[in-house]
Amino acid sequence: MRYTDPELKYCPKCDEEYRAEITMCATCNVELTGGKERLAQEEAVKQKIDARSMTISNDDELANVRKGSLHDMKQLQTLLAKENIPSLLAGEGGSCGKGCCGDELYLQIKVSDAEEAMRVLADDFKAKTALDSHDLSTAHAVFDTGAESSTCPACGFSFSTSSSTCPDCGLCF
């Protein structure tokens, strides 16, 4: 997170910084947050993170949140640890859980930390894939051959279903 000036304003959506007299974000068209309010929010988040326990007891209910290689799961484990979210790596059945007995491991967290852990992992995924700056409004579009026209789920271009390829981005259906 970058430095927050208490005398300036910030967009809660895109994180842009504005002069104190400006009230709306020019890009997102949302009301800006004052620097003092933002500092208070940041402090509350920091206190919440610092209050989390990094221990997992035998009584804690665990949930598998990801499955992957030892390398990938270690990276996610490190990411969660930065937010004080404890996690374990576990293998399937006869696996030793160290990555040498099987190809993939499960990343496990306490069920009570699930919501926050999923937010951290989703934010990381969006940042690494640049999906946080991509318009996903057409991602669930379906190519229907019975319809007269369709919207490409990749780029959002509308076109006639007589073509099985999006004329804008080249996605094949």
pLDDT tens-digit readout, 124-171: 888 788 766 666 677 677 778 888 888 888 888 888 888 888 998 888
Residue 96 clears pLDDT 60, i.e. is over it: no
138 is written with which tokens? 């057409």
Report the candidate in 162, 106, 169 with the shortest Cα–Cα distance to residue 138: 169
Q: Which two tokens mark 64?
A: 């598998």
CATH of span 62-132 = 3.30.70.1530
Predicted confidence (pLDDT) per residue in 36-70, tens digit:
999 999 899 888 888 888 889 899 999 999 999 99
pTM here is 0.57
Q: Where along the chain do its domains lie?
A: 9-51, 62-132, 135-173
- DSSP codes of every residue in 114-170: HHHHHHHHHHHHHHHHTGGGS--TTTT----TTSSEEE-TTT--EEETTSSB-TTT-
